[in-house]
Amino acid sequence: RLVSDWSSDVCSSDLSGLGAMGCLLLRKPKAAALMGGFSAGLCLTAGTKAFEWADKSVFITGGSRGLGLALAKQLVAHGAKVTLAARKFDELARAREILLNEYPAAEVCTVICDVTKKNELAIAMKEAISAFGVLDVIVNNAGSISVGPLDSMTRVDFEAQMKLHLYAAVESTDIIRPYFKRRGGGRIINICSLGGKSAVPHMLPYNASKFALAGYSQGAGIELSQENITVTTVYPTLMQTGSPIQAVFKGDHEKEFAWFDFADNLPLLSMRPETAAKKILRAASLGDAELVLSPVGKLRVLGGALFPELVNAVMVFIGSLMPKGQSGVRQTGYQSRGHFENSLLTKPMKHRARQAELKNNQYPSEDAEFNLGLH
C-alpha cells in the first residue's frame, strides 16, 4: 500500500533537512539545529494524517494522458474510483480502455470538460458524484506548455496559461468547497511545477502561471485547513510523459522543440510518470502541504535559496544558449519535431520519446490554438 511504505522514500520535510545541511555549510549551527528539528518533527507527525485510497472517489482534470493518466493507474491499482476529465472524447475513450485493460475491475468514469469554463467544471464534478455517490479528492492536473523566447510572446499567451493553470484551479476549488464542507472535509491536489519555484528561460508564460498557482495553492491550503480540507501542492520537474508533442512552440520552432524534448527524456534529469504518481499519492495521503518531486528539483530550490546570484548566473548562461528565432506563429510539438528527429545530438532520444508518447496516450496534434486553450 502507498501508506505502508511511505517511510522508504524521502519524506516531504526533506527540504528542511537540506536547509539544515546548507546552514552547516555556512557555519550556522543554531539555524541548522532548528531546521533539523523542524524536519524531524514533520517526519514524525506526517503519518497521523494518512488515509487509504481504497474506495475513494477521485476527480482528475487532464486525466486522459500524461501524468493524469499515470495517477489514475496508481489510484485504480489501490482500489480507488476515478473520474477522468478532458476535452477530447477519443483521448478519454483510449484512457478508459488502457485502465480497464490493466485493471479489469477498475471503476472509471469519463467526462468531457474544458476546465477554463466554470459551468463545465461544475457539471463534470456532479457527474463524478453521480457516478460514485461521493467525491473525496480533486486533482487539478490539466495544463499546457508554452515554449519560446519572450520577444515572441504576447499577452494572449500569458492569459491562456493563467486561465488554464491558475483560474481553473481557483474555480474548481470554489465549486467543490461547499460540498467538502458539508461532508466534513476533503483533499485537493494541485499539480504545479518546479517552474513555479524557479523560472526557466523561454518558458515565461508557463513560469508566470505556475508561480501564480503556487501562491494560490499555498495560501488556500492554509485557509482551507480550518475546514478540514487538505491542499497538497506538487512541484514536478521534467517527466517522461511524451507531452512535448502537445506543447506549443514559438520562435525557432524546431530548435525549441529539440532542446525541450531532449531534456524531457534525459536520464537523471527527467522522471518516470509512474514514479511521480506514487510519490504524489503518498504525499497527498499523508496530508503533506508541498512535494518537490525529484532530488534535482530539491537541489535547485535549495541552491536558489542559498546562492541566488550564482544560480541566476547559471540560468543567464543557459539562456544565452537558447535558440534565437523570434517567430510569433504557434506550432505544436508534433509540427516542430524535424530537427529533434534528425539531429545527431538529439536523435538517440527519438526512440525514448516515441515510447513515452505511446505509453502515456499522447497522440499527434496540429492545432496549437486548441492545445493552448484558445478555442
Q: Which residues are catalytic?
A: 206
Contact in structure between 19 and 299 (CB atoms under 8 Å): no
Contact in structure between 28 and 72 (CB atoms under 8 Å): no
The answer for residues whose C-beta is within 8 angstroms of residue 59's C-beta and 6 or more apart is 82, 83, 85, 124, 125, 128, 135, 137, 138, 139
Write down the residue that cell numbers 502515456 correspond to.
Answer: 360
CA contacts within 13 A on the Cβ side of 367: 7
Contact in structure between 336 and 251 (CB atoms under 8 Å): no
Q: Strand order in 137-140's β-sheet?
A: 107-112, 81-86, 57-61, 137-140, 186-191, 229-235, 290-292
Residues in the chain, total: 375
Joined together, the cell numbers standing for residue 38 give 523542524
SS3 assignment, position 252: coil
What is the chain's percent helix, strand, coil content, to nearest 5? 55, 10, 30
Nearest to 193 by CA among 229, 114, 125, 247: 247
Give the Cα separation of 84 and 64 in Å (integer). 6
Q: How many CB atoms lie under 10 A from the CB of residue 211?
A: 19
Strands (E), the chain: 57-61, 81-86, 107-112, 137-140, 146-147, 186-191, 229-235, 248-249, 290-292, 331-332
Nearest to 373 by CA among 166, 183, 188: 166
